Amino acid sequence: MPTTTELTQAYISEHRSVKDCLRKGVINYSALSRVIAKELDIEKKTSKEAILIAARRFREKIKESPMEDRIVELFKKSNIEIKNNIVIYTLDKGSYPEALLEIEGAIKKGRDLFFSIEGSKTITVIVQEKNAGQVERRFKNTIMRKHAGLSLITISSPGIESTPGAVYHLSGLFFESGINIEEFMSCHDDTLIVIESKSVPQAMQFLKF
């Protein structure tokens, strides 16, 4: 059976907004202990006091560190590129692999965008709308889902691959703004994020860093 301390730390760790406020020292511990006690159904007086003490001690472990400043500076130096009219296809994994290679070659020959990601049961293909016809003609019997009206945001951040917590910080910005990430990929210094095109203006508000 988990202790009150373990339950408290787990709750805070699972709630990013609470953890961030705790880290910055801008939280009402009494109010927090009441919320945790109620949500975890441990609303005894002794439990609330134990939760309050556990939260205070946990804060000492997660205080702001120089790494957080490093992450912010990293993204301040980032370059951002946006490509609109992006389409994502989810294909059955039984799709002919040689056909994928052929389409990839044809699309890249025209210097256009093409990504494919192989999962356990499906293959995700990302292309620009102008090349969607090629995918649909070739895989019309194995397309499980089509999602259009998307944009690809490429964030180039030299050093991100060696900066712990950088990707967590970035994805958290989208989460806090209520923006769903359709696809998230990385390649060395580049982080590629696909979102709904209508959400791009909102995303750019916090991606200015």
User: What is the Cα–Cα distance from 10 to 200, expressed in whole angstroms?
Assistant: 33
pLDDT-based confidence at residue 98 (cuts at 50, 70, 90): confident
The confidence score (pLDDT) of residue 44 equals 75
Percent with pLDDT over 90 in the chain? 69
Which residues have a Cβ under 8 Å from the Cβ of 25 and sit 6 or more positions away?
Answer: 59
pLDDT higher than 70, residue 45: no
Upper half-sphere CA count for residue 99 (Cβ side, 13 Å): 15
The confidence score (pLDDT) of residue 64 equals 63
The confidence score (pLDDT) of residue 43 equals 76
For 148, phi then psi, to 5°, come to -105, -175
pTM for the full model? 0.78
Question: How does strand 114-118 pair with strand 122-128?
Answer: antiparallel
Does residue 191 contact residue 160 with C-beta atoms inside 8 Å? Answer: yes
Residue ranges with strand state E in 71-181: 79-92, 114-118, 122-128, 143-156
pLDDT higher than 90, residue 196: yes
The confidence score (pLDDT) of residue 140 equals 87
β-partners of residue 156 are 79, 190
The confidence score (pLDDT) of residue 66 equals 61
Q: Coil, helix or strand for 163?
A: coil
What DSSP character marks residue 130? Answer: G
Q: What is the overall mean pLDDT for the chain? A: 91
Q: Coil, helix or strand for 110?
A: coil
The confidence score (pLDDT) of residue 46 equals 72
Does residue 88 contact residue 194 with C-beta atoms inside 8 Å? Answer: yes
Q: Count of H helices and E strands in the chain?
A: 9, 6
Which residues have a Cβ under 8 Å from the Cβ of 40 and sit 6 or more positions away?
Answer: 7, 11
Percent with pLDDT over 70 in the chain? 98
pLDDT-based confidence at residue 199 (cuts at 50, 70, 90): very high
